[in-house]
Amino acid sequence: MGEFFTAALTYPAVIFTFPLLVVVAYWLIAAVTGLAGDLLDGGDTAEGGSADTGGFTGALSALGLGGVPVTVVLSLVVAVSWFTALVGTVLLDGVLLRTVALAVALYTGWQATWLLARPLRRALRTTSASRNADLVGQVCEVRVGCAPGRFGQGLVALPDGGTALIDIRSEEPEPVPAGSHALIYDYDAAEDFYRVAPAGAAADPLG
Protein backbone atom coordinates (compact mmCIF):
# COMPACT_ATOMS: atom_id res chain seq x y z
CA MET A 1 0.00 0.00 0.00
CA GLY A 2 2.89 2.29 0.78
CA GLU A 3 4.31 1.73 -2.71
CA PHE A 4 0.98 2.71 -4.22
CA PHE A 5 0.90 6.04 -2.38
CA THR A 6 4.54 6.65 -3.26
CA ALA A 7 3.81 6.10 -6.95
CA ALA A 8 0.69 8.29 -6.78
CA LEU A 9 2.79 11.13 -5.35
CA THR A 10 5.60 10.72 -7.87
CA TYR A 11 5.96 12.49 -11.23
CA PRO A 12 4.02 12.26 -13.53
CA ALA A 13 1.14 10.62 -11.61
CA VAL A 14 1.21 13.33 -8.95
CA ILE A 15 0.07 15.88 -11.56
CA PHE A 16 -3.28 14.07 -11.74
CA THR A 17 -3.50 12.76 -8.17
CA PHE A 18 -4.71 16.00 -6.60
CA PRO A 19 -7.19 16.81 -9.42
CA LEU A 20 -8.49 13.24 -9.00
CA LEU A 21 -9.05 13.85 -5.28
CA VAL A 22 -10.99 17.00 -6.17
CA VAL A 23 -13.09 15.04 -8.69
CA VAL A 24 -13.87 12.29 -6.16
CA ALA A 25 -14.80 14.85 -3.50
CA TYR A 26 -16.95 16.76 -5.99
CA TRP A 27 -19.00 13.71 -6.97
CA LEU A 28 -19.35 12.56 -3.37
CA ILE A 29 -20.75 15.97 -2.42
CA ALA A 30 -22.97 15.98 -5.52
CA ALA A 31 -24.33 12.54 -4.63
CA VAL A 32 -25.02 13.51 -1.01
CA THR A 33 -26.70 16.81 -1.93
CA GLY A 34 -28.67 15.31 -4.82
CA LEU A 35 -26.91 17.39 -7.49
CA ALA A 36 -25.48 14.38 -9.32
CA GLY A 37 -28.76 13.64 -11.10
CA ASP A 38 -29.11 17.26 -12.26
CA LEU A 39 -25.55 17.28 -13.58
CA LEU A 40 -26.17 14.10 -15.55
CA ASP A 41 -29.30 15.59 -17.13
CA GLY A 42 -26.99 17.47 -19.49
CA GLY A 43 -27.76 20.93 -18.19
CA ASP A 44 -24.09 21.77 -17.94
CA THR A 45 -23.06 20.70 -21.42
CA ALA A 46 -20.23 21.48 -23.75
CA GLU A 47 -22.48 22.27 -26.68
CA GLY A 48 -26.07 23.00 -27.65
CA GLY A 49 -28.96 24.35 -25.64
CA SER A 50 -28.41 27.53 -23.74
CA ALA A 51 -24.95 26.56 -22.61
CA ASP A 52 -22.06 28.81 -23.47
CA THR A 53 -20.48 27.50 -26.68
CA GLY A 54 -17.51 29.83 -26.50
CA GLY A 55 -14.28 29.65 -24.50
CA PHE A 56 -13.61 26.43 -22.63
CA THR A 57 -16.83 24.66 -23.63
CA GLY A 58 -16.23 25.65 -27.25
CA ALA A 59 -12.76 24.10 -27.06
CA LEU A 60 -14.25 20.87 -25.71
CA SER A 61 -16.73 20.79 -28.59
CA ALA A 62 -13.86 21.27 -31.06
CA LEU A 63 -12.13 18.25 -29.50
CA GLY A 64 -15.22 16.12 -30.03
CA LEU A 65 -16.30 16.20 -26.39
CA GLY A 66 -19.39 18.36 -26.82
CA GLY A 67 -22.89 17.43 -25.76
CA VAL A 68 -21.73 15.92 -22.46
CA PRO A 69 -21.73 17.80 -19.13
CA VAL A 70 -18.37 19.52 -18.64
CA THR A 71 -18.08 18.03 -15.16
CA VAL A 72 -18.39 14.52 -16.60
CA VAL A 73 -15.83 15.25 -19.34
CA LEU A 74 -13.26 16.61 -16.90
CA SER A 75 -13.86 13.75 -14.46
CA LEU A 76 -13.26 11.11 -17.14
CA VAL A 77 -10.17 12.83 -18.54
CA VAL A 78 -8.64 13.18 -15.08
CA ALA A 79 -9.44 9.61 -14.00
CA VAL A 80 -8.11 7.94 -17.15
CA SER A 81 -5.07 10.20 -17.33
CA TRP A 82 -4.24 9.51 -13.69
CA PHE A 83 -4.41 5.74 -14.14
CA THR A 84 -2.25 5.86 -17.27
CA ALA A 85 0.28 8.17 -15.62
CA LEU A 86 0.38 5.89 -12.56
CA VAL A 87 1.25 2.91 -14.76
CA GLY A 88 3.97 4.97 -16.44
CA THR A 89 5.34 6.02 -13.06
CA VAL A 90 5.63 2.40 -11.93
CA LEU A 91 7.10 1.00 -15.16
CA LEU A 92 9.40 3.80 -16.28
CA ASP A 93 12.47 5.49 -14.81
CA GLY A 94 13.98 8.82 -15.69
CA VAL A 95 12.46 12.25 -16.22
CA LEU A 96 12.45 11.99 -20.03
CA LEU A 97 10.59 8.68 -20.18
CA ARG A 98 8.13 9.79 -17.53
CA THR A 99 7.51 13.02 -19.44
CA VAL A 100 6.63 10.88 -22.43
CA ALA A 101 4.30 8.94 -20.12
CA LEU A 102 2.68 12.23 -19.14
CA ALA A 103 1.97 13.06 -22.78
CA VAL A 104 0.61 9.55 -23.36
CA ALA A 105 -1.59 9.88 -20.26
CA LEU A 106 -3.11 13.14 -21.51
CA TYR A 107 -3.76 11.66 -24.95
CA THR A 108 -5.24 8.49 -23.46
CA GLY A 109 -7.52 10.52 -21.18
CA TRP A 110 -8.82 12.53 -24.12
CA GLN A 111 -9.16 9.51 -26.41
CA ALA A 112 -11.03 7.40 -23.87
CA THR A 113 -13.40 10.28 -23.07
CA TRP A 114 -13.92 10.92 -26.79
CA LEU A 115 -14.90 7.27 -27.32
CA LEU A 116 -17.37 7.48 -24.41
CA ALA A 117 -18.81 10.85 -25.48
CA ARG A 118 -21.05 9.48 -28.24
CA PRO A 119 -22.95 6.90 -26.15
CA LEU A 120 -23.13 9.40 -23.28
CA ARG A 121 -24.62 12.05 -25.58
CA ARG A 122 -27.18 9.59 -26.86
CA ALA A 123 -28.16 8.48 -23.35
CA LEU A 124 -28.40 12.03 -22.02
CA ARG A 125 -30.47 13.26 -24.95
CA THR A 126 -32.84 10.30 -24.71
CA THR A 127 -33.33 10.90 -20.97
CA SER A 128 -33.79 14.64 -21.46
CA ALA A 129 -36.29 14.22 -24.30
CA SER A 130 -38.27 11.69 -22.28
CA ARG A 131 -38.46 14.00 -19.28
CA ASN A 132 -39.42 16.96 -21.44
CA ALA A 133 -42.24 14.98 -23.02
CA ASP A 134 -43.48 14.04 -19.56
CA LEU A 135 -44.37 17.68 -18.91
CA VAL A 136 -46.97 17.69 -21.70
CA GLY A 137 -50.44 17.78 -20.18
CA GLN A 138 -49.39 19.69 -17.09
CA VAL A 139 -50.36 23.22 -16.12
CA CYS A 140 -47.67 25.85 -15.68
CA GLU A 141 -47.66 29.28 -14.06
CA VAL A 142 -46.81 31.91 -16.67
CA ARG A 143 -43.93 34.05 -15.42
CA VAL A 144 -43.23 35.91 -18.68
CA GLY A 145 -46.25 36.44 -20.91
CA CYS A 146 -46.24 35.00 -24.42
CA ALA A 147 -48.11 35.60 -27.66
CA PRO A 148 -48.02 34.26 -31.24
CA GLY A 149 -44.49 34.73 -32.54
CA ARG A 150 -43.15 35.66 -29.09
CA PHE A 151 -41.72 33.37 -26.46
CA GLY A 152 -42.44 33.54 -22.76
CA GLN A 153 -41.51 31.52 -19.71
CA GLY A 154 -43.50 29.33 -17.37
CA LEU A 155 -42.87 27.65 -14.04
CA VAL A 156 -43.88 23.99 -13.93
CA ALA A 157 -43.89 21.43 -11.12
CA LEU A 158 -41.61 18.41 -11.63
CA PRO A 159 -42.39 14.83 -10.57
CA ASP A 160 -39.62 14.92 -7.94
CA GLY A 161 -41.27 17.85 -6.17
CA GLY A 162 -39.05 20.56 -7.65
CA THR A 163 -39.90 23.19 -10.23
CA ALA A 164 -38.43 24.20 -13.58
CA LEU A 165 -38.55 27.40 -15.61
CA ILE A 166 -39.34 26.49 -19.23
CA ASP A 167 -39.65 28.36 -22.52
CA ILE A 168 -43.24 28.53 -23.70
CA ARG A 169 -45.07 29.78 -26.77
CA SER A 170 -48.75 30.31 -27.49
CA GLU A 171 -50.39 30.07 -30.90
CA GLU A 172 -53.67 31.46 -29.62
CA PRO A 173 -54.82 34.81 -31.07
CA GLU A 174 -54.89 36.37 -27.59
CA PRO A 175 -51.68 36.68 -25.53
CA VAL A 176 -51.20 34.60 -22.39
CA PRO A 177 -50.37 37.13 -19.65
CA ALA A 178 -47.89 36.75 -16.82
CA GLY A 179 -49.49 35.51 -13.62
CA SER A 180 -52.03 33.33 -15.41
CA HIS A 181 -51.96 29.55 -15.88
CA ALA A 182 -51.41 27.73 -19.14
CA LEU A 183 -51.84 24.14 -20.26
CA ILE A 184 -48.77 22.54 -21.86
CA TYR A 185 -50.07 20.59 -24.84
CA ASP A 186 -46.98 20.02 -27.01
CA TYR A 187 -43.17 19.95 -26.86
CA ASP A 188 -41.00 21.05 -29.79
CA ALA A 189 -37.81 19.00 -29.46
CA ALA A 190 -36.06 20.76 -32.36
CA GLU A 191 -36.43 24.24 -30.82
CA ASP A 192 -36.69 23.08 -27.19
CA PHE A 193 -39.87 24.92 -26.19
CA TYR A 194 -43.40 24.06 -25.11
CA ARG A 195 -46.64 25.09 -26.80
CA VAL A 196 -49.26 26.25 -24.33
CA ALA A 197 -52.85 27.42 -24.25
CA PRO A 198 -54.72 29.38 -21.56
CA ALA A 199 -55.79 27.01 -18.76
CA GLY A 200 -58.67 29.15 -17.57
CA ALA A 201 -59.54 28.41 -13.98
CA ALA A 202 -57.06 25.52 -13.62
CA ALA A 203 -55.79 24.99 -10.11
CA ASP A 204 -52.30 26.22 -9.29
CA PRO A 205 -50.04 23.13 -9.61
CA LEU A 206 -47.35 24.82 -7.56
CA GLY A 207 -49.44 25.71 -4.58
Q: What is the CATH number of the domain that holds 148?
A: 2.40.50.140
User: Range with the lowest mean pLDDT among 4-13, 44-53, 70-79?
Assistant: 44-53
Residue 9 has pLDDT above 90, yes or no: yes
User: Distance (Å, rounded) from C-alpha 29 to C-alpha 180?
Assistant: 38
The share of the chain scoring above pLDDT 70, in percent, equals 75
Residue 156 has pLDDT above 50, yes or no: yes
Question: According to the model, what pLDDT value does residue 175 have?
Answer: 85
Q: Is residue 205 part of a domain?
A: no
Residue 3 has pLDDT above 80, yes or no: yes
Question: According to the model, what pLDDT value does residue 206 have?
Answer: 45
Considering the domain architecture, whether residues 9 and 86 belong to the same structural domain is answered as yes
Considering the domain architecture, whether residues 66 and 152 belong to the same structural domain is answered as no
Residue 177 has pLDDT above 50, yes or no: yes
Range of the domain at 60: 2-133
Instruction: Report pLDDT digits (tens) over 32-64.
Output: 875 655 555 444 544 444 344 445 666 666 677
CA distances to 7, 24, 114 from 28, rounded to whole Å, are 24, 6, 24
Question: According to the model, what pLDDT value does residue 158 have?
Answer: 78
The CA-based angle 96-98-101, given to 5 degrees, is 120
Considering the domain architecture, whether residues 110 and 161 belong to the same structural domain is answered as no
Considering the domain architecture, whether residues 120 and 146 belong to the same structural domain is answered as no
Among 82, 98, 133, identify where a domain stops.
133
Reported confidence tier of residue 15, pLDDT bands at 50, 70, 90: very high
Question: According to the model, what pLDDT value does residue 131 have?
Answer: 66
Q: What is the pTM of this model?
A: 0.57
Q: Is residue 176 part of a domain?
A: yes
> From the DSSP assignment, how many helices (H) and strands (E) are in the chain?
6, 5
Considering the domain architecture, whether residues 103 and 182 belong to the same structural domain is answered as no
Contact 46, 66 (CB under 8 A): yes
